[in-house]
Amino acid sequence: MSRQNRFAVLLITDNKGPLETIIRLIKRHFTCFYLACSPEQAVEVINSKGIDVVLFGYGDVQEAEVCFLHMIRNDRTIEDKISSTMVLCSKEQVQNAFNICNKDIFNDYFIVKPLYDPHHILLRLRTLRRLLSTNSLKQSKSMSVDEMCSFFDQVATSGQELMDLNQESLERLMATVTFSMESMKERMRNEQPNNPNICAQTVNAIIDDHATNTLLPQLQGEKQDASESVNSLVNDLVTQTENNKSSLQNEIKQNQPSAVSIMIIEDEEQELMRLATYLEETGYSPNVSTHATHALKMLEQWQPRIVLVDLTLPDMSALHVISRIQSHPKLQNTKIMALAKQGDKDKVMEAVKMGINEVMMKPVDKDMLMYKINYNLTSG
């Protein structure tokens, strides 16, 4: 994986022509963008540059799969060196792309022919960059929430300790200066017999006057300034950490997975239970429905963040359900993920044309489901 605070993208293609728009767009927004025209060159770039995301831009999904297998054959550790893979495909190859992603060969897909929205790939890459950055932070900071709050508590109560430390340091400085002045007096007394023009009384008077009127007031002023600065700093730190602690606790409470509303519309009981179990095991609390009519009534009173809808429903066309969701004024921000099975190719194509957010092939893989859920929750 690439270095921290650096996000690198590699596009592998043997024909840049159809991908020129994508290439220009990614180049403009990601400084670490590389091109490779063969599996061998791709392996070389990954090993020399450090790549986070690999895009496979071949004309056929199976060609992309063959390319990846050749890369693995050339370097058995190549999968460990990259964080995510995405296959670029045409609309006609969507089903093949779903199948190959379900086999965990690639992590994601993106339709480039026709290119409905070239900027959407930027959103996906930025989301991946944010997720990778978050994971890096989590790896480098293993402090739990309780430990973090405890740390804030310690900082918030450390004001008096810092003040005491500051006071002690200044007092030691004063003692050092006093000792130094006494030593100077003694030395001048000892040297006085060798210099008849200097008498001890005169020397003592000069030193005392200097210490009383010059050195000590200056030290006292520095002491006062230092104390005030430390007090101000500590007070600001206490206020800031208390606010941070409160904000952190509120944010944790608000961002619990169970607070995210998800609906599943699926008429196959076994698949419905599998999906619900996957989500519950991850901390979500989904609402479920086996009929479109019932689901639409629920959606009139409740606005979920994500709706998973089967493309084959017993009482209503799934495409009609999707249209109803998209046209509902309160559901404009709801993400739609279609669940398809073998033979649903025409429905998938129509759903994609309607602008749904994702399509997943049944039986749905748990890891792929959670990746798609997290991606759509964070992509805005």
pLDDT value of residue 140: 41
Say which range, 158-172, 270-284, 341-355, has the weakest mean pLDDT. Answer: 158-172
pLDDT of 13-70, one tens digit each? Answer: 999 988 998 999 899 888 899 999 999 999 999 999 999 999 999 888 888 988 998 8
Position 138 scores a pLDDT of 41
What integer is the mean pLDDT of 207-224? 65
The pLDDT assigned to 245 comes to 61
Contact 342, 307 (CB under 8 A): no
Positions of CATH 3.40.50.2300 in the chain: 8-140, 257-378
CA angle 121, 125, 131 (to 5 degrees): 145
The mean pLDDT of 80-90, rounded to a whole number, is 91
**The one-letter amino acid at 170:** L
Average pLDDT over residues 177-192: 64
DSSP letters for 189-224: HHHGGG-TT--HHHHHHHHHHHIIIIIHHHHHHHHH
pLDDT at position 3, please? 47
Of 332, 333, 336, 334, nearest to 322 (Cα)? 336
Q: What kind of fold does domain 8-140 have according to CATH?
A: Rossmann fold (3.40.50)
Percentage of residues in the chain with pLDDT exceeding 70?
Answer: 65
User: What is the distance between the alpha carbons of residues 10 and 42, in angstroms, rounded to a whole number?
Assistant: 8
* pLDDT surpasses 50 at 125: yes
Q: Best-predicted range by mean pLDDT among 182-196, 209-223, 259-273, 366-380?
A: 259-273
CATH number for the domain running over 257-378: 3.40.50.2300
Distance CA 43, CA 69 (A): 11
- Condensed to tens digits (0 to 9), the pLDDT of residues 302-331 reads 889 999 999 999 889 999 999 999 999 999
pLDDT digits (tens, 9 = 90+) for 147-175: 555 555 555 555 555 555 556 666 666 66
**Quick count: other Cβ atoms within 10 Å of Cβ 263?**
21
Q: What are phi and psi of 159, to 5 degrees?
A: -60, -50
- Say yes or no to pLDDT of 226 above 80: no
Query: pTM of the predicted model, to two decimals?
Result: 0.40
d(CA 206, CA 213): 11
What is the residue-averaged pLDDT of the chain?
A: 78
